[in-house]
């Protein structure tokens, strides 16, 4: 029976991958509308012929990998279940019925190592592509070092979550989802609070911006936005990427204004100030609080759905999946599969909300800086540095784009400038 379900799952995955390949590589969508050809939003105007070719090729491969890698992850969880590996991991745990944190730690470690190995080909191929197309400048050793840090950070947070989660499930198989949700709220806010000062520095070096004149101008913008920041931080990303970025992160006194050194090296002062005005727009519009509220709401719905789906799946397919009961640690791959699926199918909604917030932040920066030339140039440089599609196919936009397309962003600035003129 398990073999039959495994074959069916692989067949469905193959059919899905073929359909996505046809859609992404032979859809013909995502072109430039005739009315915008020759305008500042047309990549043919601001990108070289080679950049256009690389952008199209790289974007298609990257999009295909995205749509294939997530169902592949589901396939991995299914494989771990139907082969009995998850149940075997639980049985291998020493000191059964003693010290739950130790038992969970061993199980989570074994599961994390296995999933890391099985998902590694996709991770490595993404790294290979980014190197091949000139996005990444990171050598393999540095990239692997970041992966190892990721592994241990994720292991630590997963262990805490899993230990509390299964303790709650054992306490109440019917109401665990509500109790888990209530505990997730302070835990998530705590992670947001410590991320800028503890987690982020594990990957990169942060130091005060060396260009003090620019820092003064950025802090003047921050003062207008009422951001409690005394310094602007620079992060050494040039040794890892050619992409550009800047952001405002953290909560309260832990807020940080951060600029990648690639942004400093490639953009003019006015363009940098426009980017910073955009990031501060998120703060002024209180988007971080809307995101927290959205996360809290979606977590509630997700946990409730998972609590309904898991028992049903175990009742119907428990023998095939080698799951004996919902409150056993070996049911964790099923929990991860369900939550991953729910996150994927709900991503168009979360991306739509994020794109709206990005539009608002763009508008704030446009109004504050009143420099349409810098705004257009910034968006063009962001497109070139990341070899981004300015107008992706619809499904790609729905599932992948948390920001408006560059076509929309550039055209918005251009239209507003025409209106003012």
In a domain, 113, yes or no: yes
Answer yes or no: is pLDDT of 419 > 50: no
The per-residue pLDDT for 418 is: 59
pLDDT digits (tens, 9 = 90+) for 27-73: 766 678 888 888 888 888 888 888 888 889 999 999 999 999 999 99
Secondary structure of the chain in HEC code, one letter for each residue:
CHHHHHHHHHHHHHHHHHHHHHHHHHCCCCCCCHHHCCCCCCHHHHCCHHHHHHHHHHHHHHHHHHHHHHHHHHHHHHHHHHCCHHHHHHHHCCCCCCCHHHHHHHHHHHHHHHHHHHHHHHHHHHHHHHHHCCCECCCHHHHHHHHHHHHHHHHHHHHHHHHHHHHHHHHCCCCHHHHHHHHHHHHHHHHHHHHHHHHHHHCCCEEECCCHHHHHHHHHHHHHHCCCCCCEEEECCCCCECCCCEEEECCHHHCEEEEEHHHHHHCCHHHHHHHHHHHHHHHHCCHHHHHHHHHHHHHHHHHHHHHHHHHHHHHHHHHHHCCCCCCCHHHHHHHHHHHHHHHHHHHHHHHHHHHHHHHHHHHHHHHHHCCHHHHHHHHHHHHHHHCCCCCCCHHHHHHHCCCCCHHHHHHHHHHHHHHHC
In a domain, 225, yes or no: no
Answer yes or no: is pLDDT of 98 > 70: no
Q: Is 279 a catalytic residue?
A: yes
The mean pLDDT value for 114-136 works out to 94
The per-residue pLDDT for 247 is: 80
Q: How far apart are the first and last CA of the chain?
A: 70
pLDDT digits (tens, 9 = 90+) for 359-371: 999 999 998 888 8
The mean pLDDT value for 265-277 works out to 91
In a domain, 224, yes or no: no
The per-residue pLDDT for 254 is: 64
pTM score, whole prediction: 0.89
The per-residue pLDDT for 27 is: 76
Answer yes or no: is pLDDT of 417 > 80: no
The mean pLDDT value for 124-143 works out to 93
Task: Name the average pLDDT for the chain.
Answer: 88
The whole-angstrom separation of Cα 395 and Cα 375 is 27
The mean pLDDT value for 409-413 works out to 89
In a domain, 208, yes or no: no
Answer yes or no: is pLDDT of 354 > 90: yes
In a domain, 243, yes or no: no
**Residue 249: strand pairing partners:** 256
The whole-angstrom separation of Cα 174 and Cα 163 is 18
pLDDT digits (tens, 9 = 90+) for 146-181: 999 999 999 999 999 999 999 999 888 889 999 999
Q: Give me the number of domains the chain comprises.
A: 1
Q: How many CB atoms lie within 10 A of CB 88?
A: 13
| pLDDT classification of 106: cutoffs 50, 70, 90 | confident
Full residue range of the structural domain in which residue 128 is found:
2-202+287-420
pLDDT digits (tens, 9 = 90+) for 300-343: 999 999 999 999 999 998 889 999 888 889 999 999 999 999 99
In a domain, 51, yes or no: yes
The whole-angstrom separation of Cα 126 and Cα 135 is 11
In a domain, 104, yes or no: yes
Residues in binding site for Zn(2+): 278, 282, 358
Q: How many CB atoms lie within 10 A of CB 224?
A: 12
Between 421 and 401, the more confident residue is 401
Side-chain-side CA neighbours of 133 within 13 Å: the count stands at 25
The per-residue pLDDT for 194 is: 76
In a domain, 273, yes or no: no
Considering the candidates 42, 261, 362, 408, report the single residue annotated as catalytic: 362
The per-residue pLDDT for 190 is: 82
Considering the candidates 271, 279, 371, 389, report the single residue annotated as catalytic: 279
The per-residue pLDDT for 421 is: 46
Residues 6+ positions from 368 with CB-CB distance below 8 Å: 221, 224, 277, 281
Residues in binding site: 278, 282, 358
| pLDDT over 90, % of the chain | 49
């Amino acid at each position: 029976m398990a073999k039959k379900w495994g074959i069916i799952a692989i067949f469905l995955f193959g059919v899905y991958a073929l359909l996505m390949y046809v859609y992404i590589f032979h859809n013909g969508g995502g072109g430039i509308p005739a009315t915008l050809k020759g305008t500042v939003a047309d990549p043919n105007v601001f990108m070289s012929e080679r950049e256009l070719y690389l952008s199209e090729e790289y974007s298609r491969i990257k999009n295909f990998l995205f749509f294939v890698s997530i169902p592949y992850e589901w396939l991995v969880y299914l494989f771990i279940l139907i082969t009995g590996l998850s149940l075997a991991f639980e049985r291998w745990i020493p000191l059964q019925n003693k010290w739950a944190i130790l038992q969970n730690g061993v199980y989570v470690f074994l599961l994390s190592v296995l999933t890391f190995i099985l998902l590694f080909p996709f991770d490595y191929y993404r790294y290979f592509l980014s190197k091949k197309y000139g996005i990444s400048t990171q050598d393999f050793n540095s990239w692997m070092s970041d992966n190892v840090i990721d592994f241990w950070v994720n292991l630590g947070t997963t262990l805490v979550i899993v230990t509390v989660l299964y303790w709650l499930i054992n306490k109440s198989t019917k109401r665990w989802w509500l109790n888990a949700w209530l505990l997730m709220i302070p835990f998530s806010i705590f992670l947001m609070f410590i991320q800028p000062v503890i987690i982020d520095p594990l990957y990169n070096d942060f130091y005060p911006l060396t260009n003090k004149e620019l820092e003064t101008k950025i802090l003047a913008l921050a003062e207008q936005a009422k951001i409690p920041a005394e310094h602007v931080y620079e992060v050494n990303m040039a040794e890892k990427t050619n992409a550009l970025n800047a952001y405002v992160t953290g909560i309260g006194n832990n807020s940080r204004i951060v600029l990648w050194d690639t942004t400093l090296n490639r953009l003019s002062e006015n363009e940098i100030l426009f980017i910073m005005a955009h990031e501060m727009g998120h703060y002024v519009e209180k988007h971080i609080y809307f995101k927290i509220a959205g996360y809290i709401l979606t977590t509630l719905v997700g946990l409730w759905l998972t609590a309904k789906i898991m028992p049903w799946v175990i009742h119907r397919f428990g023998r095939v999946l080698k799951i004996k009961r919902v409150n056993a640690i070996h049911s964790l791959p099923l929990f991860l599969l369900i939550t991953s699926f729910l996150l994927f199918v709900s991503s168009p909604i979360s991306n739509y909300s994020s794109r709206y917030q990005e539009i608002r932040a763009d508008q704030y920066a446009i109004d504050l800086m009143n420099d349409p030339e810098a705004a257009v140039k910034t968006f063009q440089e962001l497109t070139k540095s990341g070899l981004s599609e300015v107008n992706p196919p619809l499904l790609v936009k729905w599932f992948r784009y948390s920001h408006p397309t560059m076509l929309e962003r550039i055209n918005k600035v251009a239209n507003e400038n025409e209106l003012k003129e």
